[in-house]
Amino acid sequence: MKNIQPTENSLIEAAQRGDLDAFNQLVLNFQDMMYRIALRTLNDESAADDATQNAMIQAFRNIKSFRGGSFRSWLARVTVNASYDEMRRWRRQPAVSLEQVNNDGEEIESLPWLVDFSAGPEEQFNSAELRGAIQACVKSLIPDYRLVVVLVDVEGMSYEEAARIAHIPVGTVKSRLARARMQLRKTLQSYQNLLPTAYRVEMPSFVNA
């Protein structure tokens, strides 16, 4: 007789009853995502480890508040909160106040080089130098811009999911993402020679003005 694997919903229900083993099994598939979000928010491996652990603790303590929907998005939101708590605790980043802007510009399509930066060289054009350049560019973004890039372009979340996770309007997600992508395009100009021809980014004329 085949062993029946528990569903996500059954694991959530068990975890909500206090079953730690069920919770551990539940978050196993999401722990890498949680760490990526924390790492790219904090830019520090040790701090990201702490934030991820704290996020898991907070998620278990508050799992009864989960009322359905995407559990992945819920965990991502908990991770973002834990990352900002860690940031404030160590004051690694200065507080940045962003002007609220309307989504009145053209939306930039996803760029081919915005991929999972944690993948190996086989998946990343077999170029360690290129991966290093991309990571350096992403790290140069201010935290609020970096967060939407990670959520949408790296983790593949929708604008609506990213908005719920970051606690900002959908229009602000789109605006920040467009500005972040444009900044990344401009920064990567000096690395165009590292990109395979099929993946080179056409720079808008006003960037070069």
pLDDT at site 129: 65
Q: Which of 22, 27, 29, 15 lies closest to 61 in space, CA to CA? A: 15
- Assess if residue 204 is contained within a domain: no
Last residue of a domain, one of 70, 90, 110: 90
Q: Which of 100, 106, 110 lies closest to 185 in space, CA to CA? A: 110
Average pLDDT, the chain: 75
Q: Which of 50, 48, 77 lies closest to 63 in space, CA to CA? A: 77
Last residue of a domain, one of 90, 117, 136: 90
Residue ranges making up the domain that contains 61: 8-90
- Assess if residue 57 is contained within a domain: yes
pLDDT at site 128: 63
Q: 10-residue block means of pLDDT along the chain (209 residues)?
A: 75 93 91 91 87 94 90 93 85 40 38 42 50 74 88 89 92 92 78 53 39
- Assess if residue 75 is contained within a domain: yes
- Assess if residue 1 is contained within a domain: no
- State pLDDT tens for residues 153-182: 888 899 999 999 988 999 999 999 999 888
- Assess if residue 176 is contained within a domain: yes
Output the domain CATH number for residue 133: 1.10.10.10
**Cβ-Cβ contacts under 8 Å for 162 (sequence gap 6 or more):** 148, 151, 152, 173
- State pLDDT tens for residues 12-27: 999 999 999 999 999 9
- Assess if residue 103 is contained within a domain: no
Classify residue 20 as exposed, middle or buried by CB count within 10 Å of its CB (0-12, 13-18, 19+): exposed
pLDDT at site 173: 94
Classify residue 25 as exposed, middle or buried by CB count within 10 Å of its CB (0-12, 13-18, 19+): middle
Output the domain CATH number for residue 64: 1.10.1740.10
